[in-house]
């Protein structure tokens, strides 16, 4: 897909993708699956950043704006984390606007 990881630390991750023709749908905008995959990548990076295996229990996305060119940036922030559950909000943006909002919940396994 061409995802570039920018930063990862405990409970946080940031990555980008430079849009190309392979990312576009029939309407000449970035395919929703590409946006979801970018968000899911930073979701996985942030939730697994503590060195314990975390697997998705739930994920949803809301699309706000179609884009056809430029760079998408996804930033995952941890909202809550216990021994077994973590909740994350991911914003997917262009340089100047919010494109989509992804929310995910993970189950944190007892052992890696």
Q: What are the structural domain ranges in the chain?
A: 3-108
Range 3-108 has CATH code 3.30.930.10: no
Q: What is the mean pLDDT of residues 12-17?
A: 98
Q: What is the mean pLDDT of residues 98-102?
A: 98
Residue 74 has pLDDT above 90, yes or no: yes
Q: What is the mean pLDDT of residues 22-49?
A: 97
Q: Convert 74-105 to b/e letters by CB count within 10 Å (16 or more is b).
A: bbbebeebeeeebbbbbbbbbeeeebbbbbbb
Residue 111: per-residue pLDDT: 75
Q: What's the order of all strands across the beta sheet hosting 12-18?
A: 3-9, 12-18, 71-81, 85-93, 98-108, 54-63
**What does the alpha-carbon distance between residue 89 and residue 101 come to, in Å, rounded to a whole number?**
7
């Amino acid at each position: 897909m061409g995802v570039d990881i920018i930063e990862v630390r405990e409970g946080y991750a940031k990555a980008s993708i430079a849009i190309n023709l392979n990312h576009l749908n029939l309407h000449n905008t970035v395919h929703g699956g590409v946006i979801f995959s970018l968000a899911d990548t930073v979701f996985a990076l942030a939730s697994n950043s503590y060195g314990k295996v975390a697997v998705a229990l739930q994920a949803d996305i809301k699309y706000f704006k179609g884009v056809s060119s430029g760079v998408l940036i996804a930033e995952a922030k941890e909202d809550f984390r216990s021994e077994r559950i973590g909740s994350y909000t991911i914003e997917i943006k262009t340089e100047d606007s919010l494109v989509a909002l992804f929310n995910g919940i993970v189950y944190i396994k007892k052992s890696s």
